[in-house]
């Protein structure tokens, strides 16, 4: 039973480069969440989708960040251009409407921007 | 008003001891309070959750105590084990909202 799948697991890039993080939610889940985790700010919700539609993107730090969910089984989080302060672990989580309470998190992508 | 305040930031407990992590909230619309456990290199995973219509929920060695009037809830880990060493997050959700508001996390270390 596959959980939430994220790729890549680790990403090292130089400042100014474009970074794309990918997520495959659990099959049948209709809500998807992107989080960012840092020591300083903890776990922050960036954006969430319901039925592939962005519902709340108020956590997206700035215009350099964008997220898409073209279908129920795939989402991307893009950072362009990347900056050193974007270095963090980015998590994707999914849930289904029958269990609004429990979010299933992926293993995360550790992003380092040098 | 959307914040959930969590304490302590870190906690060290001897094996067999009781670990207690506290959270407080302001938003009275919150109606679901889960706790998530995160091991290094992994994503958070749901540990236990409670609704405000009960004052306590117990699952094995893990217990949530809930005080609605004080707007506080806590996680108690009885007979703490080294394998419990992880970061614990409290969270809260309001109504039909799908998003959770997370606390800042508590890094628990259980010494052997």
Q: Could you report the per-residue pLDDT of A74-109, keeping only the tens digit for each?
A: 999 999 999 999 999 999 999 987 665 689 999 999
Q: Quote the DSSP letter at residue B83.
A: G
**Which pLDDT belongs to residue B3?**
87
- DSSP string across A47-108: EEEETTEEEE-TT--STTEEEEEEETTEEEEEESS--GGG-EEEEEEEE-GGGTTPPEE---
Residue A113 has pLDDT above 60, yes or no: yes
**What pLDDT, in 10s, does the model give residues A7-51?**
999 999 999 999 999 999 999 999 999 999 998 888 999 999 999
Which residue from A56, A51, A3, A68 is spatially nearest to B94, judged by alpha carbons?
Answer: A56
Q: In the predicted model, what is the mean pLDDT of residues B104-108? A: 96
Q: Are A23 and A103 in contact (CB under 8 A)?
A: no
Q: Are B91 and B26 in contact (CB under 8 A)?
A: no
Which residue from B84, B22, B20, B75 is spatially nearest to B50, judged by alpha carbons?
Answer: B75
Contact A105 B43 (CB under 8 A): yes
**Which pLDDT belongs to residue A102?**
84
Q: Are B111 and B82 in contact (CB under 8 A)?
A: yes
For residue A41, with 0-12 CB atoms within 10 Å meaning exposed, 13-18 middle and 19 or more buried, which class applies?
Answer: exposed
Residues of chain B in contact with residue A107, where contact means CB-CB under 8 angstroms, are 41-43
Q: In the predicted model, what is the mean pLDDT of residues B27-45? A: 92
Contact B34 A106 (CB under 8 A): no
**What pLDDT, in 10s, does the model give residues B47-69?**
999 988 899 999 999 999 999 99
Residues of chain A in contact with residue B46, where contact means CB-CB under 8 angstroms, are 101-103
**Which pLDDT belongs to residue B52?**
86
Q: Are A31 and A47 in contact (CB under 8 A)?
A: no
Report residue B1's pLDDT band, with 50, 70 and 90 as the boundaries: low
- Across chain B, the runs of DSSP E, i.e. the strands, are 4-7, 10-14, 19-25, 30-38, 45-50, 56-59, 62-67, 72-77, 86-94, 101-102, 106-111
Q: CA of A29, closest CA in chain B: separation in Å?
A: 12
Chain A interface includes B69 (CB < 8 A): no
Contact B105 A43 (CB under 8 A): yes
Residue A22 CA: distances (Å) to CA of A9, A76, B106: 10, 5, 28
Which residue from A10, A7, A21, A3 is spatially nearest to A93, judged by alpha carbons?
Answer: A3
């Amino acid at each position: 039973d596959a959980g939430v799948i994220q790729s890549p697991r680790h990403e090292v890039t130089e400042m100014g480069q474009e970074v794309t993080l990918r997520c495959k939610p659990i099959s049948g889940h209709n809500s998807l969440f992107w989080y960012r985790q840092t020591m300083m700010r903890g776990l922050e919700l960036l954006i969430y989708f319901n039925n592939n539609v962005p519902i709340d993107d108020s956590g997206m730090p700035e215009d350099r960040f964008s997220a898409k969910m073209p279908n129920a089984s795939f989402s991307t989080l893009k950072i362009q251009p990347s900056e050193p302060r974007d270095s963090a672990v980015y998590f994707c989580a999914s849930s289904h409407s029958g269990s609004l309470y429990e979010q299933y998190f992926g293993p995360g992508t550790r992003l380092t921007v040098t | 008003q959307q914040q959930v305040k969590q304490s302590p930031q870190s906690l060290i407990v001897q094996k067999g001891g009781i670990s207690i992590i506290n959270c407080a909230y302001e938003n009275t619309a919150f109606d679901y309070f889960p706790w998530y456990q995160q091991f290094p290199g992994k994503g958070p995973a749901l540990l236990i959750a409670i609704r405000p219509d009960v004052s306590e929920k117990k699952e094995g060695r893990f217990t949530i105590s809930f005080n609605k009037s004080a707007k506080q809830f806590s996680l108690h880990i009885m007979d703490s084990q080294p394998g419990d060493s992880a970061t614990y997050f409290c969270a809260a959700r309001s109504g039909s909202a799908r998003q959770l508001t997370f606390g800042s996390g508590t890094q628990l270390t259980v010494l052997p």
